[in-house]
């Protein structure tokens, strides 16, 4: 999870003492993985491209500014032929609180081509959790993001609906962190003052932070973006409005903030793409979003 803002106490992952498993073998009740074939791709010196029968992924490294103002981030432009190959996976294939594994380990366990850390659902006991078409939690508390099986994506109020209603409407995945960054192609006002939770360790997600987010340009055309931060001279991180603007500038019609800080990670073909906190080390999390491979 993101650490507390400056002046607040930092939260450490090792405060988790007991795992609480609610569902083991979670993937067994979800859809089966889809295998795709690799074809060689080319790009610029700062880009990598993957092409298969079902997806095209272009990863770009972007560095702007200099000195203490430098920002480094990674953009995965993802096009899929079937929205259901954009999936979620749980740490240790178990659903519950305080169960964690490194994003690369979760990604390897499901043969992911591309993955980013998810919403760290296991940090809390609220939020609607639908993953790969299966309901795991129905406790609406905040603004969520819904991925639909038709390739669309929408922000929604968790407290105004239910997991069953979402499933009936064609929702394939949900994430529950936030806030929403972009809606209707425009940066949402007031996102620099939102608190996702008021519990210990996440009093604020504001300021210049490492970030992970997901957005949609058009049906079946997504953006996964990870911004590194807290590393002077490499990347300072970004504010919430800055993060939203990155998505808007790239044509996102909808975008949503996921867990960040030391959790922010992008994995491509079993390799860590970004440099978390400038240390090159992942931090355990409860879940990932990924493109099946």
Instruction: For 158-211, write each residue's pLDDT tens digit.
Output: 999 999 999 999 999 999 999 999 999 999 999 998 877 755 455 568 899 999
Average pLDDT, the chain: 86
Model confidence at 82, pLDDT cuts 50, 70, 90, reads very high
Question: 1 in a domain, yes or no?
Answer: no
Helix (H) / strand (E) containing 247: helix 240-249
Model confidence at 37, pLDDT cuts 50, 70, 90, reads very low
Question: 2 in a domain, yes or no?
Answer: no
Question: 167 in a domain, yes or no?
Answer: yes
Distance of CA 163 to the CA centre of its chain: 20
User: What six digits make up the tokens of 106?
Assistant: 């979760």
Question: 158 in a domain, yes or no?
Answer: yes
Which regions of 124-265 does DSSP assign to beta strands (E)?
Answer: 127-131, 134-139, 143-148, 153-157, 171-175, 180-183, 186-187, 211-218, 221-227, 254-257
Model confidence at 278, pLDDT cuts 50, 70, 90, reads very high
Question: 195 in a domain, yes or no?
Answer: yes
Specify the pLDDT at position 95: 98
Backbone torsion region of residue 96, taken as left when φ is above 0, otherwise alpha when ψ lies between -120 and 50, otherwise beta:
left
Model confidence at 28, pLDDT cuts 50, 70, 90, reads low
In order of 39, 52, 225, 289, 290, the CA distances from 36 in angstroms are 10, 6, 23, 17, 14
Query: Domain of 205?
Result: 13-292
Specify the pLDDT at position 16: 32
Question: 4 in a domain, yes or no?
Answer: no
Question: 203 in a domain, yes or no?
Answer: yes
Number of structural domains found in the chain? 1
């Amino acid at each position: 999870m993101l650490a507390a803002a400056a002046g607040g106490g930092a939260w450490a992952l090792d405060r988790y003492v007991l795992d609480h498993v609610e569902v083991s073998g979670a993937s067994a009740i979800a859809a089966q993985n889809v295998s795709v074939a690799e074809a060689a791709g080319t790009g610029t010196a700062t880009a990598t491209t993957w092409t298969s029968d079902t997806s095209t992924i272009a990863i770009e490294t972007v560095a702007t500014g200099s000195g203490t103002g430098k920002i480094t981030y990674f953009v995965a432009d993802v096009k899929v032929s079937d929205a259901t190959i954009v999936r979620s996976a749980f740490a240790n294939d178990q659903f519950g609180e305080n169960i964690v594994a490194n994003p690369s380990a979760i990604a390897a366990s499901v043969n992911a081509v591309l993955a980013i850390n998810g919403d760290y659902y296991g940090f809390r006991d609220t939020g609607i959790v639908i993953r790969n078409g299966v309901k795991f939690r129905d406790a609406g508390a905040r603004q969520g993001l819904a991925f639909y099986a038709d390739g669309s994506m929408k922000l929604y109020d968790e407290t105004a609906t239910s997991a069953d209603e979402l499933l009936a409407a064609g929702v394939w995945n949900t994430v529950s962190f936030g806030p929403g960054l972009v809606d209707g192609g425009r940066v949402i006002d007031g996102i620099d003052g939102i608190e996702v939770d008021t519990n210990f360790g996440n009093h604020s997600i504001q300021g210049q932070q490492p970030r992970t987010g997901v957005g949609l340009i058009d049906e079946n055309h997504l953006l996964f973006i990870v911004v590194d931060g807290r590393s002077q001279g490499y990347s300072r991180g970004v504010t919430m409005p800055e993060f939203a603007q990155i998505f808007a500038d790239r044509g996102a019609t909808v975008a949503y903030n996921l867990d960040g800080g030391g959790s922010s990670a992008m994995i491509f073909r079993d390799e860590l793409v970004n440099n978390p906190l400038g240390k090159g080390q992942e931090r355990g999390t409860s879940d990932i979003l990924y493109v099946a491979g």
